[in-house]
A and B are shown apart, each in its own frame.
Chain A
Amino acid sequence: MILLRFRAMPALVILVANVVFITIAPRAWFEILVLLNRWLTPVIGRALTTYIQALLTVMGGVAWLYLWREGFRRLFRRLLKERAAGTRASCRPRL
Chain B
Amino acid sequence: MATYLFTTRVVMKRFARWGIAGVDVHKPGKPKVPEMGGTALLFGTFCFVTVLALLGALTGELLSIFMAILIAGLIGVIDDRYTLNKRVKPALCALAGLPIVLMGTYPHELLLPLSVSFNIPTLYMILVPIALAVTANAINMFDVMNGVASGTSLIVLLTLVVTWSVRFVLVGGTDVTFATGAALMLLPPAVVLFAFNRYPSRVFLGDTGTLALGAAIGAFVVVSGLEFPGVVVMMVPITNAFFSIFSHGGLFERSELKSRPISVGDDGRLSSNPDPSAPLTLTRIILLLGYEREEEVFLAYMQLTLVTAILSVLCGLLIWGIG
Contact = CB atoms under 8 A, between A and B. Distances in A.
B303 A91 contact: no
B280 to A, nearest CB: 6
Contacts of A69: 242-243, 246
Interface string B274-290: 10000010101110111
Contact of A11 (B272, B280, B285): B285
Interface residues of A, dominant DSSP = helix
Contacts of B243: 69, 72
A90 B280 CA distance: 20
Interface in B299-318: 300, 303-304, 307-308, 311, 315, 318
Interface of A: 6-8, 10-12, 15-16, 18-19, 22-24, 26-27, 30, 65, 68-69, 72-73, 75-76, 79-80, 83-84, 88-91
Given A68-B239, A83-B288, 19 more contacts: A6-B303, A7-B290, A7-B300, A8-B304, A12-B304, A18-B235, A18-B239, A19-B315, A23-B232, A23-B315, A23-B318, A24-B113, A26-B112, A27-B112, A27-B113, A68-B242, A79-B285, A80-B288, A89-B290
13 contacts: A6-B303, A8-B286, A8-B291, A10-B289, A15-B304, A19-B311, A19-B315, A22-B231, A23-B114, A23-B232, A27-B114, A65-B242, A80-B288
